[in-house]
Amino acid sequence: MEAPVPLTKPSTEPVPLSTSLRKPIFDLVFCFCIWFLISRGPRAVGLHPPHSGFFCNDESIRLPRVPEIISDQALYIYVFALVCVCIIIVELYCLLFVDSHSELISGEAGKSKLERYLLRILTVFSYFLIAYVITYSLTSVSKLTVGRLRPRFLDVCRPNIDIEACSTQLIYISDYECTNENEGLVLDGRRSFFSGHSSQSMVAGIFCVLYVYARLSGVIYSEAAVPLIQFGLISSSLFVGWSRYVDHSHHWSDIIVGQFVGAIVAYLIIMKVAKMFPTRKFI
């Protein structure tokens, strides 16, 4: 087993726990404010996706609306439960068996194990929340500006034109109105690009994959544990993303782009902000 690598330089003097927690708590509050602004702001000021037209013979938007496999609420539970459980277990293992006498976070000196444990959890989670909010913002802006039609669009829109009459002709329809009185459902039908389920599940999955490798690789007794954990994390993220193709919520390209965005954001936050490799510094 490798010796534990300090994440920060040891502090010369103990500092109060409230001082040590100031930075991660500020990051958490700031990220929540940004998320709230992005999620509620456009609707509050009346911003909607553009009124995109479509080709009358486009088979890709003629699929029926079916029940969602994974709802938005289930997605949020998956993302935050996955990350929280991962951080809680990994940091507990490391604190008890790997680096119980090492100062990994600036400000750990002179504190009890419980205080150090809390500080580590909040610090790592604050980095994930940065990655999540960036991913969520990119996804929301893309959905709002591109206005790509979902595969089930015609079923939820019910346009006031005879679709079947021109189904074999290459005619572009831009002057139409949706007859479905559920405006929220119609607007959602214009938010296909790119997949939020894919981007959010992948940013969580890749963040956990890299985090587990940074903290446990070489310091855990089982050689198979880390790759098996990583396989499970990636598999669950892929399942969440591709479930949106099965339930006609997204085109395949929406899902791939979403997964790419989530993976890139997670990688950049781990490598450039948290700097967990190669010195495994958190701050």
* Active site (catalytic) residues: 197, 250
CA distance linking residue 125 with residue 118, whole number of Å:
11
3-state secondary structure of 172: strand
CB 258 within 8 A of CB 197: yes
CA distance linking residue 128 with residue 211, whole number of Å:
10
CA distance linking residue 173 with residue 53, whole number of Å:
5
Q: Within 94-193, where are the H helices? A: 113-146, 153-157, 183-188
3-state secondary structure of 159: strand
CA distance linking residue 126 with residue 117, whole number of Å:
14
> Cis ω on the peptide bond leading into residue 278 (within 30° of 0)?
yes
Mention every residue, 6+ apart, whose C-beta is less than 8 A from residue 248.
Answer: 63, 64, 65, 66, 150, 151, 152
Residue with tokens 């479509």: 54
